Amino acid sequence: MSDKPLQEPSFLILTALAAGPKHGYAMLQEVERLSDGRVALRPGTMYTALDRMADEGLVEVDREEIVDARLRRYYRITGAGAIRLAAEADRLRSNATAAVRSLKLGGLGGVGS
Amino acid sequence: MSDQQDLLAVDDASPREGEVAPIAPLERRYRRWIGLFPVAYRIEREDELVGVLLDGATPDRVRPRLAEVVDLARAAAVAHVRVARTSTSRHEWSDASVVVGIILAVVLGAQSVRYLTVVARRALFSGPHAEPLSWFEVRGWYVPVAWAIVVALLALGWTRLACGAAWLASVARLAAVYEVATVPPFPWSTEPDGLSAAPPIVVQLTLGLVAAVLLSRPRRVRAAVDSIGRRRLMVAIVAFSVFLGAQRWNNLGGSGFDIWVLVVPFALALACWVSHVQLRHIPLDPVARRIGAGLLAVLVVFVVSVAATAATGAGGVVTRRDLAAIFAVGLGTAIVAALVLAVAPIAARRIPFRLVRRPRDPQVRRSAPVSE
């Protein structure tokens, strides 16, 4: 099993899908929202990440719809994807906690904003 | 705004057979760029990707943004790598490599015709002012003859003998290289006519070795030829030979820069690109695509070996013009071959394209074409 840290786009996509199945454009918007506008994925990048995660069995196709003559394929997170995302969230959280603790120890104050 | 909506609304009523729904310019342009993706990928994803791109576009937009194009190109490159890595297409590669070997053998063998005509012409028209027969055109004559024998054996279906003959031809070529290296050139060949000196022999040695290696699986030859069809093989050979012949002509012409050598391939490249765009829903046969890739690889070998001989200064001067011509001709050849391989089945076999076999569907792979 790959224990490599998820890249940020993958992490955010999984996060977006964790709340429920989404189609491509909704994922882009959700990723932007989740990252407070910091990460604006482009479709190509998103599908590259999505393909990789599909290969690893982290996401799968949920259903297809035709809306306004456009094909919308919905994706959902798999069980393995949820486990991976949870593990990744734990890792990031412990890193963040360690960083905050370290800053406090050094007397460099709290982390604002 | 309403413009685009209307156009798309027409799309809504799923187009019947033979009826083509109008496509908004933006969508058309997006699809053109998505043409960069591998065919199998496009079958799977094109409509979806177009949908996402259109969802993200403001209604007044008629052209993709540069950033989007860059993003698509990058994703397409990644997808190509992914497909190449995951595809279970060893047979297709193997077939394609054998076919490339056959094409090379034919091209190398075809040179014997040139030797014969040169020798015959000089023999027939030898007068007091006749050009002397160049050593290069006489010595080493046995090499193309050996390749002609290889081709004849292939045509007869004696593939094992053909394979052996291909290796013999390579040995013969080594002898020719030795001959050229030890026999001094004519005093009047001081003109930098580059490619008509030693480099072509070394280049051809490389090409010959490549062909011999590719033909070293005699049992696969028949299956490989069957897999693309004899007609398509013929067309590919003709396309390849014509362009190599064009390059030859350019060098024999001697003086001046023959612009058409550059123009023709690039015009064809343009034609190819246009037809690629038009034909992008028609997936190329996997073997054909791989033959294209194989020819391209051969051309890389070709160009590199010419450059290498030029760099070492071994026998003769290769001018920049020569290199440019080789590059242009090579590129043109690859493109023409690819184009021909793409289009020929429509004309020659009159069977509809088989849909590209999806990588994840092993049963469909290499299934025999359904008889009607």
Interface test with B, best of A70, A71, A74 (most B CBs within 10 A): A70
Write the pLDDT tens digit of every residue in B255-313.
233 333 344 444 444 444 444 444 444 445 555 666 666 666 666 666 665 565 555 55
Inter-chain CB proximity B82 and A51 less than 8 Å: yes
Inter-chain CB proximity B74 and A73 less than 8 Å: no
pLDDT at position A13 is 92
pLDDT at position A63 is 86
Residue linked to tokens 């001094």: B184
Give B71 to chain A, closest Cα distance, Å.
5
Full strand arrangement of the beta sheet holding A70-77: A22-23, A70-77, A59-67
Q: What is d(CA A92, CA A8) in angstroms, rounded to the nearest whole number?
A: 11
- Whether residue A106 lies within 8 A of chain B, CB to CB, comes out as no
pLDDT at position A90 is 93
Digit-by-digit pLDDT tens for chain A (113 residues) are 456 788 888 999 999 999 999 998 999 999 999 988 888 889 999 999 998 888 888 998 888 888 777 888 899 999 999 999 999 999 999 999 999 999 988 887 655 54
Inter-chain CB proximity A44 and B75 less than 8 Å: yes
Give SS3 for A65.
strand
* ipTM entry: 0.85
Interface test with B, best of A28, A46, A68 (most B CBs within 10 A): A68
Nearest to B283 by CA among B348, B337, B232, B358: B358
Interface test with A, best of B4, B5, B45, B52 (most A CBs within 10 A): B52
Q: Which residues contact B135 (CB under 8 A, 6 or more apart)?
A: B183, B185, B186
Chain A residues whose beta carbon lies within 8 Å of the beta carbon of residue B86: 55
> Looking at the partner chain, which of A42, A68, A71 has a beta carbon nearest the beta carbon of B68?
A42
Inter-chain CB proximity B49 and A73 less than 8 Å: no
Inter-chain CB proximity A25 and B56 less than 8 Å: yes
pLDDT at position B12 is 43
C-alpha distances (whole Å) from A101 to each of A93, A97, A107, A112, B90 are 12, 6, 10, 14, 55
Give A64 to chain B, closest Cα distance, Å.
10
Amino acid at A110: G
Q: Residue B312 is encoded by which pair of tokens?
A: 């070492």
> Looking at the partner chain, which of B45, B54, B86 has a beta carbon nearest the beta carbon of A47?
B45
- Whether residue A28 lies within 8 A of chain B, CB to CB, comes out as yes
- Which chain A residue lies closest to B86 (C-alpha atoms)? A55
Which structural domains are found in chain A, ordered by start? 8-104 (1.10.10.10)
Inter-chain CB proximity B74 and A28 less than 8 Å: no
Give SS3 for A77.
strand
Q: What is d(CA B372, CA B366) in angstroms, rounded to the nearest whole number?
A: 18
Chains A and B: how many Cβ contacts under 8 Å? 65
Give B55 to chain A, closest Cα distance, Å.
7
Q: Decide if A44 contacts A54 (C-beta within 8 A).
A: no
Digit-by-digit pLDDT tens for chain B (372 residues) are 444 444 444 444 444 444 455 678 888 888 888 888 887 788 888 888 988 898 888 888 888 888 889 999 899 888 887 776 665 455 666 777 788 788 778 877 776 666 666 666 666 665 555 555 544 455 567 777 888 888 888 888 888 888 899 999 888 887 776 766 665 544 444 443 344 445 556 666 777 888 888 888 877 788 777 776 676 677 667 766 666 555 554 444 332 333 333 444 444 444 444 444 444 444 455 556 666 666 666 666 666 655 655 555 544 455 666 666 666 666 666 666 666 555 544 433 333 333 333 344 444 444 444 443
- Whether residue A71 lies within 8 A of chain B, CB to CB, comes out as yes
pLDDT at position B105 is 83
- Reported as half-sphere exposure (CB side, CA atoms, 13 A), residue B293 has a value of 15
Q: Decide if A44 contacts B71 (C-beta within 8 A).
A: yes
Q: What is d(CA B19, CA B10) in angstroms, rounded to the nearest whole number?
A: 12
